[in-house]
Amino acid sequence: MKWPNSFNILALAICALAAPPIATASLVRAMDLAELTARADQIVVGDVVSVQAAWDASHRTIYSTIEVNVQENWKGSPPANGRISIRQPGGRVGEIEMTVHGMSSFSAGERTLLFLERAHVVGMSQGKRRLYREAGSQRWLAEARSASTEVVVIGPQGKVAAATDGQPERLDSLREQVRTLVGR
């Protein structure tokens, strides 16, 4: 027996609605300063010189290469040429943009505090804090840690909750805390 075309469409729609949803998100556990410092093999303050995006060899994934001139080295060996290169998935090539939620975003000309492990930002965006001058005093401040939906705190009995936003911090205070944690 041949079913009418509208019946086939209805059957497909019911099957599609009954199918289990595909998970599209990932969660990252919130890290405090001590954990960021422990995980990082290098901690630097630097100026972003360039952000370049390109396709990989198979033309399936876009990667961005971020060049950073190191101004201060808080942990690890300073780079021989004074520059660090970070490569991470995501970026824009022509009209095509690939976004990886939770990854750090960089802009040429910004100054940033970076917690790096093998030239990758620790804890996705948690290991990058943009720096800016405080109005009036002109002291350097690290932006507040942003609590994105991907960063979570795991509480008692494994209960998961979204992390809360942090507060801006003075760079000199962060420097001293990190040096204490590193043992310098």
pLDDT, one tens digit per residue, over 57-113 is: 999 999 999 999 999 999 999 898 999 999 999 999 999 999 988 888 999 999 999
Q: What is the CATH number of the domain that holds 110?
A: 2.40.50
- Tokens representing 178 are 């990190």
Give the whole-angstrom CA distance, residue 184 versus residue 110: 27
Is residue 52 in some structural domain? Answer: yes
Q: Is 179 exposed, middle or buried (0-12, 13-18, 19+ CB in 10 A)?
A: middle
Give the whole-angstrom CA distance, residue 142 versus residue 136: 16
Is residue 139 in some structural domain? Answer: yes
Residue 76: CB atoms within 10 A of its CB come to: 15
What pTM does this model have? 0.79
Give the whole-angstrom CA distance, residue 105 versus residue 166: 18
Query: DSSP letters of 74-91?
Result: EESPPPTTSEEEEEEE-E
What average pLDDT does the chain have?
84
Is residue 1 in some structural domain? Answer: no
Q: 130 lies in which domain range?
A: 23-182
Is residue 130 in some structural domain? Answer: yes
Confidence of residue 5 (pLDDT cuts 50, 70, 90): low
Q: Is 150 exposed, middle or buried (0-12, 13-18, 19+ CB in 10 A)?
A: middle
Cβ–Cβ < 8 Å for 49, 69 = yes
Q: What's the number of domains the chain is made of?
A: 1
Is residue 18 in some structural domain? Answer: no
Is residue 138 in some structural domain? Answer: yes
Is residue 17 in some structural domain? Answer: no
Residue 113: CB atoms within 10 A of its CB come to: 24
